[in-house]
Amino acid sequence: MSKRKYGLALSLVLAAGTLLGACGTDKDKKDSTSSKGGNESNFSVAMVTDVGGVDDKSFNQSAWEGIQKFGKDNGLTEGDGYTYLQSTGEADYTTHLNALARRDFSLVFGVGFMMEDAIGTIASQQTDKEFAIIDGEVNEPNVASILFKEQEGAFLAGVAAALMTKSDKIGFVGGMDIPVINRFEAGFVEGVAAVNPNIKVDVKYTGFFDKAELGKAEAARMYSSGVDIIFHAAGGTGNGVFSEAKERKQADKNANVWVIGVDSDQYDEGQVGDDNITLTSMLKRVDVAVQDISALAKEGKFPGGETKVYGLHDDGVKLADSRGALPEDVLKQIDEYAKKIADGEIVVSESLK
């Protein structure tokens, strides 16, 4: 073959290679976005719990219930259509988020403020996947940040406690001293003060969300000091508050001890024979937020790079049915305060610090 013919043949081969390469690039681009929402039938969703675990009867459990409902409503199969990974420590966050992204789940939720750094890291690496963080904010275009106005719901819990206390001593048991729990504290204390500024609120942070024994110890101290109602915002640690209250009710049927639950309706946690020590629960509708964001992602409207905040005005927070523990006159006053908050007449602080 002459040099001229050889050069022409080589040029044709290179040209063909370039065209094939371009076609391959287009296909790769399509493949890289195939896991994202829109109306595609292979949409899937998953979540990573924080250390509280999926059965914490609180925050993580509410998120998982939302994912389960979304999955069932959309005909997804548990396992490959929707699932969760449970964290036993902070070291699991990055590993679990990465594992779910690599398993091609379209949308992955990280539950809790403590997962901010992990989601930021994985989202910047897995740019073709969509992530959402609950109770935190991550500045990445493929991350939706979900926050709640916990202070508004906690304010109503404070109103309920102030109207129901007989000792004028009320307690608040928090988990970690972080912004989201500070919002619970601020709203609760302000709600109590709105009814009666002379009521004392004993505030204690345990530093953990998964240490029921610490919640129990703080509840024992508070009840022994005369506190008759404790509001907890401590995840699994709050289970210890219930344990202490129930033990006291079992020992003395006339004991005036109450617990206000958090995140989910914790009425069942307060059952003591024929009695119940759950006054009410401050519902944080994580389940609703999870379903909302999942639906938007599936429709191709994922709010990446945005922060969505859920409050009283959209039922993002509210008090649970008290099953008669709160009398009608108290419920009426709570409703009046709720309307003032929703209308902007009352603005609740996010922190007392």
Nearest to 129, CA basis, from 37, 48, 42, 28: 37
Both tokens assigned to 343: 């209308």
* 318 within domain boundaries: no
Q: Supply the pLDDT for residue 109.
A: 98
Q: Supply the pLDDT for residue 314.
A: 87
Asked if pLDDT for residue 31 goes beyond 70, the answer is: no
Q: Supply the pLDDT for residue 145.
A: 98
Mean per-residue pLDDT of the chain:
90
| Count of all residues that appear for the chain in the document | 353
Asked if pLDDT for residue 280 goes beyond 60, the answer is: yes
Q: Supply the pLDDT for residue 64.
A: 97
Secondary structure class of 68 (helix, strand, coil): helix
More confident residue, 4 or 259: 259
One domain, residues 200 and 258 = yes
One domain, residues 303 and 272 = no
Q: Supply the pLDDT for residue 39.
A: 46
**Percent of the chain residues past pLDDT 70, beyond the cut:** 88
* 75 within domain boundaries: yes
Please state which of the ranges 34-43, 85-94, 152-161, 214-223 shows the lowest mean pLDDT: 34-43
Asked if pLDDT for residue 116 goes beyond 50, the answer is: yes
One domain, residues 203 and 295 = no
Nearest to 86, CA basis, from 70, 73, 101, 97: 97
Nearest to 161, CA basis, from 186, 193, 184: 193
pLDDT in tens, 225-272: 999 999 999 999 999 999 999 999 999 999 999 999 999 899 999 999
One domain, residues 119 and 171 = no
Report the 10 Å Cβ neighbour count for 33: 12
Q: What is the residue range of 178's domain? A: 150-283+323-342
Asked if pLDDT for residue 13 goes beyond 70, the answer is: no
One domain, residues 174 and 126 = no
Q: Supply the pLDDT for residue 279.
A: 98
Angstrom CA distances, 90 to 65, 85, 95, 193, 208, stand at 23, 13, 10, 37, 12
pLDDT in tens, 123-182: 999 999 999 999 999 999 999 999 999 999 999 999 999 999 999 999 999 999 999 999
Asked if pLDDT for residue 20 goes beyond 50, the answer is: no
Amino acid at 295: A
* 13 within domain boundaries: no
Both tokens assigned to 193: 């003060």
**Percent of the chain residues past pLDDT 90, beyond the cut:** 84
The residue whose two tokens read 């994912």 is 67
Q: How far is it, in rounded angstroms, from Cα 186 to Cα 165?
A: 19
One domain, residues 181 and 260 = yes
Both tokens assigned to 287: 């389940």
The residue whose two tokens read 């020590």 is 277
Beta bridge partners of 283: 263, 318
Per DSSP, 76 falls in state: P
One domain, residues 204 and 333 = yes
16: left (phi > 0), else alpha (psi -120 to 50), else beta?
alpha
Mean pLDDT along residues 311-338: 96
Angle at 111 between CA 97 and CA 350, to 5 degrees: 140
Both tokens assigned to 20: 């094939």
Q: How far is it, in rounded angstroms, from Cα 224 to Cα 278?
A: 18
Number of domains in the chain: 2
Both tokens assigned to 150: 């916990």
Mean pLDDT along residues 314-320: 93
Both tokens assigned to 216: 């129990």
